[in-house]
Amino acid sequence: MGMPVRIDDTLYEQARTEAQIEHRTIAGQIEYWAMVGRAALDNPDLPVSFVAEALASMREPRAQATRFVPRSRKS
């Protein structure tokens, strides 16, 4: 169970707007931002957009994943 946390009203409104767009709860949106921020801090050499896309791909169901097929070597 989560604990109530006080956040700035502006941040709350931004989270509400983004949550509606992304079909998340407000808490889910803030948790997502925290997860991306934490992963970006842990990997400062990677662009934030790459980190966000990598995290999103990890949440996709394996059954919907496209199988990796390596290119054949050129002779």
pLDDT band at 11 (very low <50, low <70, confident <90, very high): very high
Residue ranges of alpha helices (H) inside the chain are 9-22, 26-42, 48-59
Q: At what angle do helices 9-22 and 26-42 cross, to 10 degrees?
A: 100
Buried residues in 44-68 as b, exposed as e (16+ CB within 10 A): eeeeeeebbeeeeeeeeeeeeeeee
For residue 74, what pLDDT is reported? 57
For residue 34, what pLDDT is reported? 94
Q: Please report, for residues 15, 55, 69, the alpha-carbon distance to residue 74 in angstroms, rounded to integers and kept in the order given.
A: 49, 33, 15
What is this structure's pTM?
A: 0.70
pLDDT tens string 23-75:
999 999 999 999 999 999 999 999 999 999 998 888 878 787 778 888 876 55
